[in-house]
Amino acid sequence: MGFLIKEATLLDPINSENGSVRDILVENGRIVRIGENIQTKGHEVFDCKGKYVTPGLIDMHCHLREPGREDEEKIQTGTRSAAMGGFTSVAAMPNTTPPVDSVLGVKFVQMLATREGIVNVYPIAAITKKMEGEELTEIGDLTAQGAVAISDDGLCVMNAELMRRALEYSKMFDIPVIQHSEDKNLSADGMMNEGEISLWLGLKGIPSVAEEVIVSRDILLAKYTSGRLHVAHVSTKGSVELIRKAKQEKIKVTCEVTPHHFTLTDSCLKTFDSRYKVNPPLRSEEDREAIIEGLKDGTIDAIATDHAPHTIFEKEQEFDYAPFGMIGFETAVPLVFTELVHKKILSPYVAIKKLLEGYKILNIRNEGLREGARADITVIDPDFVFTYKKEDIISKSCNTPFIDREFRGAPILTMVGGRVVMKERKILL
């Protein structure tokens, strides 16, 4: 029949709605009415008093690992993990095996998403064939098939000429080029942030300039070509400053930050715990503070997880050999509320805006909470207190240092196209 969301506190930056209390009636996959005291019969009723109701959140940066690494994650499991995290849409990075560098690859992800996924999956295609950094992919055909951006994420496009052409060519299709900014010569075989902590641990460092050199170069290229640059997972103070300045100059650059980069620092590495091994690495407290500033002043547009599943076996080895990455869908909103909202760094409205900005950056149509709009809805209980337990993890992998951490604030309902996929912290499909 349908659903009636009662007494919801609306947080909808898409429609500039900040805090009105309304009822929302959902029928046949769409929002049919938003109003006060809607009376109906036969609808399933959700009492959302004191809860935030937002347009379905988007994670614009994740790794679903399919095809190729189904032992780490599948579209089936990854989208369930995303639903638990309150995301109704995710953009999947193309560094699968083989990489998504062809129309066939895009179609494969879409097919699996339709068949096995429970949230919307938007494929991101590779910038270069086989992600080898040599030749551009067929960006026109890929976007026509539904790729929402191009990225060689995990690898940086080191060749400046190639990056220039990618920015120049992708302009025609109005998609962003998402860069993993890491100068490979400077990062070399580094494993953590280069700084005082790495110095004494004897772990090879990845200097912040390895990121900033590329951010700086790409901003110049974006300016020169008028192409659209999106800087993935910003991690350093210098990058934030470069992007702030570029935005002042009206250069088309956007960027994202991960919850782990605004929460953790390289001091976590002191115990050689590979769960904290991520790329870009956790940086210094000074960098973390600059990221917080960037979130506050709008330099940082979006919060994205960089959900990167790895098996226990892969992570449980020598620090040098453990792969980079941590999972992030299920802890993203809890971290945003615990670390940013409850600490008064961001208002709930601005925090939610960062979790919706991906639609704008990726040019995905989303009308928000509006009559007639598709019913992609997330409900967040800002005061839901819980401890994240290993046995509760929905993702196929459990490589996260946030196990056993207590959070305040969590999604309690995720609705995709009028279908409830997560309710009261349980996956329904």
Interaction with other proteins in 262-291: which residues (CB under 8 A)? 271-272
Q: Please tell me whether the peptide bond between 207 and the residue prior to it is cis, using omega within 30 degrees of 0.
A: no
With respect to other proteins, which residue has the nearer C-beta, 39 or 200? 200
CB of 195 to other proteins, least distance (A): 8
206 sits near other proteins (criterion: CB under 8 A): no
Q: How many residues bind other proteins (CB under 8 A)?
A: 17
Which CB contacts under 8 angstroms, 24+ apart, belong to 186-195? 186/210, 186/213, 190/281, 191/277, 191/281, 191/319, 191/320, 192/266, 192/269, 192/277, 192/281, 192/282, 193/266, 193/269, 193/281, 193/282, 193/283, 193/284, 193/287, 195/266, 195/283, 195/284
207 binds other proteins (CB under 8 A): no
Binding of residue 321 to other proteins (CB under 8 A): yes
Helix H or strand E encompassing 315: helix 312-315
From candidates 30, 130, 204, 370, binder to other proteins by CB under 8 A:
204
Do 54 and 349 form a contact (C-beta atoms < 8 A)? Answer: no
Asked if residue 184 binds other proteins (CB under 8 A), the reply is no
152 tagged catalytic: no
Minimum distance, C-beta of residue 272 to other proteins, in the bound complex (Å): 3
CA atoms of 311 and 173, how far apart (whole Å): 37
Using the CB atoms, write b or e for 360-372: b if 16+ within 10 Å. bbbeeebbbbbee
Kindly tell me which of 273 and 383 has the beta carbon lying closer to other proteins: 273
Q: Considering the complex, state which of residue 297 and residue 320 has its C-beta at the smaller distance from other proteins.
A: 320
Q: Which of 306, 320, 383, 404 is catalytic?
A: 306
Site string for other proteins, 213-252 (x = CB under 8 A): ----------------------------------------
User: What one-letter code names the amino acid at 211?
Assistant: E
Least separation in angstroms between CB 322 and other proteins: 10
For residue 13, give Cα distances in angstroms to 52, 77, 353, 367, 370: 12, 29, 6, 10, 12
Closest CB 189 distance from other proteins, rounded Å:
10
Pick from 202, 344, 390, 404 the residue near other proteins by CB under 8 A: 202
Q: Give least dist CB 315 to other proteins, A.
A: 11
- Structure-token pair, residue 181: 């900014």
Note whether 404 binds other proteins by CB under 8 A.
no
- Catalytic positions are 306
Residues that bind other proteins (CB under 8 A): 195-196, 199-204, 271-272, 313, 316-321
